[in-house]
Every structure is written in C-alpha cells, then in structure tokens.
Structure 1
C-alpha cells in the first residue's frame, strides 16, 4: 500500500470533544451520540483515534445526523503525534510511512475493522450502521460494504488510500466519495475506475468533487483558510446528508 508524505500534512483543530472513551469489542474507542438505532463507524486516517480533528468530526456527525458514532483505535495503541502535521522540523527524522503501513496492513487490521462493524450490527442492536473512512480508512469501508459482507448500510469516504480495483468492483452498498482536486494517492486511474464501475453496480453513488483542495483536507484542512474551511465544512455536510438518507 503505497503512501505519500501528504498523509502527514495538515492542521490541528481547536476545540474540546464532547464524547467519551470506552471500548468496542477488543478495541479502545471514542464514542459520541445517544441514538440506539443508528450508528456510524469511523475508520481513521494515519493519525488514529486520538486526533482531536477526528473526534470533533465524530461529534458533528452524532449531533447533525442523529447517530451514535464510534471511533475505534485500529492501530493497537500506536499514536502518530499530531506534531507530525505540517513541515518537518529541522533535523527531525522523517516519519517512516512504509514501516508504519507494514505494522498496520490490511491483513493485520482488516479483521479488527470487521469485528467492530459486526459488534455494532449484530451485538449492540443498531438497526442501521454506516461507515466513513479517511485516507487509510477508505479501503476498510469498501471491504465492509462488499457483496457477501454487507456489514454496513452505507459508506462514505474522503480522499481514500490503499484502494484496489477489485474492492471497488465488489461493493454492494450505497457509496459516497469525497474527492479533492489534488490527490496523488487516490489516483486519476482509480478515480476513473470508480466513475466507470460504480454506476453500473445498481447501487446509489454520490461523487463529491472539491476543486482547489488537496488530499487530507476533510480531516486536516486549515480552518483559518477560507477555501479550506469551506471545503471541510461542505465535506462534513455531505457525509451528514448521506447518513441521514440511509440510516433513518
């Protein structure tokens, strides 16, 4: 799973999350919201479940889409410091993305993602479950929604990474994809494959394009930059609308 340094760029958001830390199966998790019928599983990006930005997004989804949101730790306690956001400091050792991805490959983390979705769908009593993934989390959403798995009722993702064409071909649930203009990871080839394949699968498909923005904007955009702020807000609103449509 090739990655780029754009995975570790962006900005930290200020604010205090409203939820609490608990567990989801064997994984620690941040949970927010009170709906007992509809849940959303967030599959985080490289910064993991403790990133303030991700928890604040979870709060927005919970409140605005009226769902209970779970943000589990899918990195087995490993935390990439938010200080890695932005340009590397002089003399600092570059973050080793290939080594990190080796520790958190699909083969290693996929079973945990499936276990979390199964817990929500089959054990905790939620009637409807959605999933949203950012960067690293994109492939997990596609796998959860694959024909024969179908552990979720809809999926959304922003600037996904690690996708394979076979995962796109196999999806069998409504799909929303949030796409920035500049994204060296969700390549033009993969984008074209999505646009050619998904409409033929007889599932609802929502393609949201964001000109002038780059990979990572939906979770790490600069709230002090007007274009980025409007983009991350529109991306949040798109996901909220998607969950309202398919989880209620």
Structure 2
C-alpha cells in the first residue's frame, strides 16, 4: 500500500488527533472514532501510522552535529520538582557570552522534537536549555502516549516553577550574558505566557498556540511578546481577543501572527500537522525577535 498523503486526510481526522493528543479522549475512543475514516482503501492501521510522530525522519539538527556543544545537565528546582534534567546546547567553539533561551515542551515531556528545537535555537546563536518536566517521574519515557500520561500526574503550576528555575540556571551560567527569552509550544506556550507573568527579568516570550493567562495575571505582564496561532486552532484562539485587549490597555509590546489554514502543532516536524512554510516563517520571526530583544 502506498503511503498516505496529507491531502487524503480530512480535517475531522486532524481534529480527532488534536483531542487525543490533549487528553480529551482516550486511545480506545480515538481509535473507535478514527475507524469511521478508514474507507476507500485507507485502513485504520495506516491512519494510525500516518498520524503518529516520526521523530527519526524529522530531525532538523542531528544530536551529534559538530557545529554544536549539546549535553544533558541537571539543575535544581526548589519550588518545583527538585532535580530537573535538561538539554543544554550552544554553538561550538564560541568564546563570547550568549543570550539565553528556555525551550518549553508540549504536554508529553522532552521528546526528540523539542530537543531538536533546542539544538536549532543554539545554531541560531543562543545558549538554550530544554528542560524535561517529567524528570521527577523518571523523565520522558520514549513515546508520547506514556509521556502524556506521566505529565498529567504533575500540576502545571509546579511544572511552571521548573521552567522558572531553568531561567535562573541560564541567568547564572558563565556562557550566558544574562539576557534571556522563552519559547514554548502548546503546554509550553502557556508556560511562556506565564513566565512573562512571573519573571519580570524575562526579556522576550514566544508562545506557539499557547493558552492565555487569566485576566488578573495578564495585567501584570511587561515582557514583549511574539505570539503564533494556527487559524484552525479555535479552542486556543478563542481566548486571544480578551488577552489582546489587556495587553493593549497596559501598553505591552506584542506582535501576533495567525497562520492561515494551519492546525495546532504546525511547527512540529514529526506529525502530519507540520507545515514547512508556516514553520519556517514562524521560526524566522522568532529568531529575529530574540535577536532584537536579547541583544
């Protein structure tokens, strides 16, 4: 059987996957609903394979790339989960201090896609740290299904403290110049918004399709924001008008982009929701924003 192509898959399948990936439905219900679309030579197995992440084939920067120094480290998160493991990456053979970026994963721990983003961020001229909020539970378990189950066992506010601690780790790192931003995806988008609330020293925040803070928290923000949204991600997008009104009322510098025809997760190279053009454009905007705000 020939591999499926994106244009063969209806939007309803992407919506189902979104609900499954965000714990709205369990695996049994997902497969039951997905089976409705296994018609016309498309099997349930081929649909499941098509929608599942493909990490090995989708990395943009290999772990052993000679242009980088990239190693796992641990740091202390006293208000969060204690000892947290993360991937620290920086350009190889670079003697000057660099601005720092905290890279925040989705709702499934530090998977290969987010490690890849951390390495890419370093190649773009930063020292990056990509923490694993699953560290207190043994770390990312090697697949996203188990990763989501583990992450659901931790409180989001406690995990927020782990990423704030990562900011503090970078701030004190001898290779960092102290100018630090954050970029996060999905759950990590919410973390990015909340770090803008909780960390006054944060110089830039870039949430990708992240849920918004409540109004009281939003009113605290002073950090410049660059926000990326997918047009078809109606659940997350619904909170933007109210959030924007608060940012405007408080004269918070922000830039927002909606990517037409895109699904939640369009930057994630490992799933069919990925869109190369939108991902590359959003990333160029992200790096340009960091270079401006973290200079």
Q: What is the TM-score with the length of structure 2 in the denominator?
A: 0.68
- Given the alignment, which residue of 136, 152, 158 partners 2:208? 158
Alpha-carbon spacing, 1:236–1:12, altered in 2? closer, same or farther (3 Å): farther
Structure 2, gaps ≥5 residues long? 1-17, 24-50, 77-82
1:167 aligns with 2:217: yes
Task: Give the structure 2 partner of residue 58 of structure 1.
Answer: 118
Cα separation, 2, equivalents of 1:24 and 1:158: 25
Alpha-carbon spacing, 1:114–1:62, altered in 2? closer, same or farther (3 Å): same
Alpha-carbon spacing, 1:63–1:101, altered in 2? closer, same or farther (3 Å): closer
Give 3-state SS (helix, strand or coil) of 1:47's partner: coil
- Given the alignment, which residue of 121, 132, 135 partners 1:73? 132
Q: CA deviation at 1:220?
A: 4.5
Q: CA deviation at 1:234?
A: 1.4
Q: CA deviation at 1:29?
A: 0.9
Q: RCO (CA 8 Å, sep 6+): is it higher in 1 or 2?
A: 1
RMSD between superposed Cα atoms in Å? 2.8
1:139 aligns with 2:139: no
1:46 aligns with 2:95: no
Task: Give the structure 1 partner of residue 169 of structure 2.
Answer: 119
Cα separation, 2, equivalents of 1:96 and 1:115: 21
Asked if 2 retains the 8 angstrom alpha-carbon contact of 1:10 and 1:217, the reply is no
Task: Give the structure 1 partner of residue 263 of structure 2.
Answer: 214
Q: CA deviation at 1:37?
A: 3.1
Show structure 1 runs of 4+ deviating over 4 A: 99-102, 122-125, 220-223
- Given the alignment, which residue of 110, 128, 147 partners 2:160? 110
Q: CA deviation at 1:10?
A: 6.1
Alpha-carbon spacing, 1:81–1:165, altered in 2? closer, same or farther (3 Å): farther
Q: CA deviation at 1:162?
A: 6.6
Q: CA deviation at 1:181?
A: 0.6
Encode CA deviations 1:74-96: one digit per residue, 9 max, x unaligned.
12234264464xxxxxxxxxx79
Q: CA deviation at 1:202?
A: 2.0
Larger Cα-atom Rg: 2
Give 3-state SS (helix, strand or coil) of 1:28's partner: strand
Cα separation, 1, equivalents of 2:89 and 2:171: 17
Asked if 2 retains the 8 angstrom alpha-carbon contact of 1:21 and 1:31, the reply is yes
Q: CA deviation at 1:70?
A: 0.5
